[in-house]
Amino acid sequence: MSKIKCPKCGNRNVAEYLWGMPAFTKKLEEELEVGHVVLGGCMITESDPKYHCNNCKKDFGGRPIKMNKDGSLFDYAIETRNISFYVGGFFGGYINLCFEKDENGCNYEVKPGLAMDEYNFENNRTGKQELSIEEWNKLINKIYNKIYLLSWKKKYNNSDILDGEQWGLEIKLEGKRQLNYYGSNAYPVYWRELINLFHPYAKNAGVTLRTNGNKMI
């Protein structure tokens, strides 16, 4: 069973694509038979997927790029300029983490909403904090290549729960493009990984990043 989870259905029955013209060994034949590997063919492109889910039949894990109308490639990782994530609820308040890259460098800021005590602002160090380009690149790499953001649904909603917890992830790209993801008492497959990704930055600002989602997925 693969360590990789499908970002669409959460199943770990995932095969890795093998591109080109591999030598057909007995080992390869066995891996093809059990679904550990799938042949991708000889037509290799910049946007080829890396993995195939044997459960829901979806592909994922390719480079975070798309082709523009003029034939040029748009690389989401390179063109990301701003990341904003919030989580919370009406009664408990919200916590917002904002990351930004501009001509002056990179920074992040933790912005509390209402009812700050709910989020353990014991040693509140809110305000913009400097972020190295190496840290920014690691963050971007994990977002696109480790939690497979481009394969997420745009909305996750559990209509059986009123109020509860809401969250949102907004990514602003060069050229006024945006990626927007939202949830209300429902969460993506890689929710824990997303929270773990942002947790060190919240902790550095004196904030305990809590979420009901870790109990629900």
Nearest-5° Cα angle at 151, 16 to 162 = 135
Note down the domain range covering 19: 1-63
What is the band of 126 on the pLDDT scale with cuts at 50, 70, 90?
low
102 in a structural domain: yes
On whether both 86 and 25 belong to a single domain, the answer is no
Q: Encode pLDDT of 183-192 as tens digits.
A: 999 999 999 9
On whether both 36 and 121 belong to a single domain, the answer is no
Q: Is the pLDDT of residue 99 over 60?
A: yes
On whether both 95 and 194 belong to a single domain, the answer is yes
C-alpha distances out from residue 23 to 26, 29, 73, 86, Å: 10, 10, 32, 49
- Tell me the whole-structure pTM to 2 decimals: 0.88
Cα–Cα distance, 161 to 201 (Å, whole number)? 30
68 in a structural domain: no
**Which of the listed residues 63, 88, 113 is the one where a domain comes to its end?**
63
On whether both 47 and 85 belong to a single domain, the answer is no
Which three-class secondary structure state does DSSP give residue 88? strand
Q: Encode pLDDT of 7-42 as tens digits.
A: 999 999 999 999 988 888 988 888 989 999 999 988
On whether both 93 and 23 belong to a single domain, the answer is no
On whether both 106 and 187 belong to a single domain, the answer is yes
Torsion of Cα atoms, 202 then 86 then 110 then 171, to 10°: 110
- Secondary structure E strands in the chain: 14-19, 37-41, 51-53, 59-60, 65-67, 73-75, 80-89, 93-102, 105-112, 129-131, 155-157, 166-173, 178-184
Interhelix angle 133-145/191-204, rounded to 10 degrees, is 160
Split into its structural domains, the chain has a count of: 2
On whether both 164 and 133 belong to a single domain, the answer is yes
71 in a structural domain: no
| CATH number of the domain encompassing residue 129 | 3.30.1560
On whether both 142 and 58 belong to a single domain, the answer is no
Are 143 and 197 contacting, i.e. CB atoms less than 8 angstroms apart? yes
Give, for 42, the enclosing helix (H) or strand (E): none
What is the band of 119 on the pLDDT scale with cuts at 50, 70, 90?
very low
On whether both 86 and 135 belong to a single domain, the answer is yes
On whether both 136 and 95 belong to a single domain, the answer is yes
On whether both 52 and 19 belong to a single domain, the answer is yes
**Which of the listed residues 36, 63, 90 is the one where a domain comes to its end?**
63
Q: Is the pLDDT of residue 217 over 80?
A: no
DSSP 30: H
69 in a structural domain: no
On whether both 41 and 148 belong to a single domain, the answer is no
Cα–Cα distance, 4 to 16 (Å, whole number)? 10
85 in a structural domain: yes
72 in a structural domain: no
